[in-house]
């Protein structure tokens, strides 16, 4: 009997020892005590924290899209200006960091963002469902009407979408306007080029017959090119809005940017930026 009690005691002691050893790793896993590892939710460093730590935020833009963003010589120095740029400056100011700009072709912006070469995109970009699959967007900060531009001599010739059947219609490559031409002008051939300035030249040299572009942008170019005018063509697409794009999963950065946008929208600063940018185009 004594022997059995001794055996039972040893077995119970071993069981307690095994149980104790088995619980410690579980405790370390749940609390990550001394392991140096972070919980799954914290494995991705906060993008906002990383930007603040770096002390700068890098914006990607395609600076050929007045009055959104464009090059202008000011005090004998080439500068990137426009109402998008003023918004970017306000975001950097609210975050307490400096703003660094990278100018590139529009179609290269999303790949640059996904590769981590820039922190956000502000370039009159519409948050389409396709783009939302790969990046996150802020709220809409500006909405513009889409217009069709033709040569003044052809205004009476091109009055409907059908009148452009069989003709080449220009649009900025990778932009919403390229999709509009494809979907709303199926009888036309879209010619997509990266820069609006190049598309304007295509119009003037009669390599394309029309150009689909946002009205504020068209206004800027039409002021300097009296040989170009708006066609009396009504597009069936809805007005498209512009939003800021950030890398997927940057909820904290989106929230911070939306706070800045809320302020700029409520105090009418964006309207002021648009007016000032259009004035710069005219100079």
In a domain, 22, yes or no: no
Residues 255 and 137 in one domain: yes
| CATH code of the domain in which 177 resides | 3.40.190.10
List all residues 6 or more positions away from 56 whose beta carbon is below 8 Å from its beta carbon: 92, 97, 98, 99, 100
Residue 11 included in any domain: no
pLDDT tens string, the chain, 283 residues long: the values are: 444 444 445 444 444 444 444 433 333 333 333 334 444 344 356 889 999 999 999 999 999 988 899 999 999 999 999 999 999 999 999 999 999 999 999 999 999 999 999 999 999 999 999 999 999 999 999 988 899 999 999 999 999 999 999 999 999 988 889 989 999 999 999 999 988 889 999 999 999 999 999 888 888 889 889 999 999 998 876 657 899 999 999 999 999 999 999 999 999 999 899 989 878 876 6
**Per-residue pLDDT, 5:** 43
The pLDDT value recorded for residue 237 is: 63
Using a cut of 0.75, tell me whether the model's pTM lies above it. Answer: no
**Count of domains in the chain?**
2
Instruction: Give the domain range for residue 118.
Output: 47-143+241-282
Burial of 193 (0-12, 13-18, 19+ CB in 10 A): buried
Same domain assignment for residues 175 and 221: yes
Same domain, 61 and 101: yes
Residues 162 and 204 both lie in one domain? yes
**Same domain flag for 190 and 206:** yes
Do 153 and 221 belong together in one domain? yes
Spatial contact of 118 and 99, defined as CB atoms under 8 Å apart: no
């Amino acid at each position: 009997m004594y022997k059995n009690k001794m055996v039972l005691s040893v077995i119970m002691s071993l069981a307690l020892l095994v149980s104790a050893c088995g619980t410690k790793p579980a405790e370390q896993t749940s609390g990550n005590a001394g392991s140096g590892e972070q919980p799954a939710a914290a494995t991705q460093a906060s993008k906002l924290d990383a930007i603040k730590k770096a002390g700068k935020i890098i914006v990607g833009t395609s600076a050929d899209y007045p009055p959104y963003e464009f090059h202008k010589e000011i005090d004998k120095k080439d500068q990137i200006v426009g109402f998008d740029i003023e918004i970017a400056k306000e975001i950097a100011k609210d975050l307490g960091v400096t703003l660094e700009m990278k100018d590139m072709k529009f179609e290269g912006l999303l790949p640059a963002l996904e590769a981590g070469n820039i922190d956000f995109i502000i370039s009159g970009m519409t948050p389409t469902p396709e783009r939302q699959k790969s990046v996150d967007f802020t709220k809409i900060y500006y909405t513009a009407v889409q217009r069709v531009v033709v040569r003044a001599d052809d205004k009476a010739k091109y009055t409907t979408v059908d009148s452009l059947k069989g003709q080449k219609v220009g649009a900025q490559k990778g932009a919403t306007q390229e999709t509009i031409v494809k979907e709303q002008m199926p009888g036309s051939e879209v010619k997509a080029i990266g820069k609006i300035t190049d598309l304007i030249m295509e119009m003037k040299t009669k390599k394309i017959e029309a150009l689909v572009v946002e009205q504020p942008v068209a206004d800027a170019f039409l002021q300097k090119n009296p040989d170009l005018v708006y066609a009396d063509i009504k597009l069936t697409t809805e007005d498209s809005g512009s939003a800021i794009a950030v890398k997927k999963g940057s909820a904290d950065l989106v929230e911070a940017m939306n706070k800045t946008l809320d302020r700029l929208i409520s105090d009418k600063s964006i309207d002021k930026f648009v007016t000032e940018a259009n004035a710069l185009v005219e100079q």
